Amino acid sequence: MAVSYTVIGLMSGTSLDGLDIAYCTFWKKGNSWNYRIIQAETIPYTEHWRNRLSNVERGSAFEFVATDIEYGHLLGRLTREFMDRYQIRPDFIASHGHTVFHQPEVKLTAQIGRGSAIAAETGCPVVCDFRSLDVALGGQGAPLVPMGDRSLFADYEYCLNLGGFANVSFEKDGNRIAFDICPVNIVLNAIAVKLGEHYDRDGLFARQGTILPGLLKALNTLSFYSQPPPKSLGKEWVNAHIWPLMNDFVPGVDFNNSLTLSSLSSLTSTIPANKLYDLLATWCEHAAYQISRAISGRLPELTQGTGNLTLSTSTPAPLLLKEKGTGDEVINTGMKLADKSSGKLIVDRIPVNKLLVTGGGAFNGYLVERIRHHTGWEIIIPDKDTINYKEALIFGFLGVLRWRNEVNCLRSVTGAVSDNSGGSVYFPPCS
């Protein structure tokens, strides 16, 4: 007999699009988990809350605690309104919260949105604070989605999320491997705000830009990209490393504050649009290259044999991969490979892998084109509900595993000393 749960998953990402609410059902039959998204919505943040969430790390300790509590009540009210609108009542609510600080190297991570406030507003049990146990155990506390990728999206060898940050998840030698690759929407949206929009719709602005070679080189040489996993990124890293580089190429523009101003109109009068188009185009190229480099690095077998391989076609700007321990290069575009010295055909065709792409960045047509260009892989864009609500869905699923006291965070992903079942549980007042 199948065991089933109905759950509301809540997700707020660093790109500040709004609160994702997904009412889902999960059922287990044998050893396999299944799911269905029944109802889902994104509730855009008001400008007040967009600004407040952007600025909270700059405030006092009192302001941080007050925001944590008030934001929890906001999440609870929005969820209760969602429940009333669709006449539903879940077994419990699973809330990711909104990340303010993430510095696992000093055992620190903080997601606001107090679970007790959500429970009080909705009258439902709440599972929240999914990351802190893993960080306490020496892990990155991120990414957490791979547990859901393994259980709910096993048909896809690679799962790529294009949210505030890009992260990838895949199986290797019986272990789930996942890590953050690079910032995506947290940067693209900040630049788009300077153009009077909250995001670059379909990458239309980026498509008008010209890639800046100097900036691209500087971005690609940042030390994070040479670190092996497990690894994760936070807003602090963007503030410390990305915005200073951006300011070098657009002098006088403080991107660090680009999402904290109350009026878009104040951002659009003094900044040359073509400069911002160039930054968007360069960032898309940087992100696509880093994504390709991260996922294609799993194919060392392609460099077996003579090494020193190159394409026998003139495909532009392919990704170069180096075999560990050698200076040999291989070009991976799903095309033919030939030995540089002899021109002899070595591999007729590299098997094309399938890459499931979700998150808001999946709607950026230009970015997806650049990822396809650099990887040569088959890009699978699922239905809109899966694109928009996969993270809310999976946090609902992580809540199910916590509810069952089962592992929902993998040491192979985060580097913690052990697998763990993270999450605090709040029960509503007894009636």
Q: How does DSSP assign 123-158, residue by residue?
A: SS-EEE--SHHHHHTTS-----THHHHHHH-TT-SE
On whether the 3-147+386-426 domain is CATH 3.30.420.40, my answer is: yes
* Structure confidence by residue, pLDDT tens digits, 200-215: 999 999 999 999 999 9
**Cα–Cα dist 305/279, whole Å:** 41
pLDDT at 346: 40
**Cα–Cα dist 359/74, whole Å:** 23
How far is residue 86 from each of residues 35, 42, 79, 126, 341, measured CA to CA in Å? 19, 14, 11, 19, 66
Please state, rounded to an integer, the average pLDDT across all residues of the chain: 85
Percent of the chain whose pLDDT exceeds 90: 76
Residue with tokens 């970015």: 367
**Cα–Cα dist 121/47, whole Å:** 23
* Encoded amino acid at 130, one letter: F
Percent of the chain whose pLDDT exceeds 70: 82
Residues in the chain: 431
Q: Hey, where are the domains in the chain?
A: 3-147+386-426, 185-297, 300-345
pLDDT at 42: 96
3-state secondary structure of 345: strand
pLDDT at 130: 98
pTM score above 0.85: no
**Cα–Cα dist 415/431, whole Å:** 42
**Position with higher pLDDT, 167 vs 341:** 167
Mean pLDDT for the stretch of residues 220-232: 95
When computed from its CA atoms, the radius of gyration of the chain, rounded to whole angstroms, is 22
Lowest pLDDT segment from 104-113, 172-181, 267-276, 404-413: 267-276
Pairing of strands 126-128, 92-95: parallel
Bin 203: left if φ > 0, else alpha if -120 < ψ < 50, else beta: left
Is pLDDT at 265 greater than 80 in this prediction? no
Burial-class residue 217 by CB neighbours within 10 Å (0-12, 13-18, 19+): exposed
pLDDT at 207: 98
Cis amide prior to 230 (ω within 30 degrees):
yes
Pairing of strands 3-11, 92-95: parallel
Is pLDDT at 309 greater than 50 in this prediction? no
* Structure confidence by residue, pLDDT tens digits, 43-61: 999 999 999 999 999 999 9
* Structure confidence by residue, pLDDT tens digits, 243-261: 999 888 878 666 665 444 3
pLDDT band (50, 70, 90) for residue 14 = confident
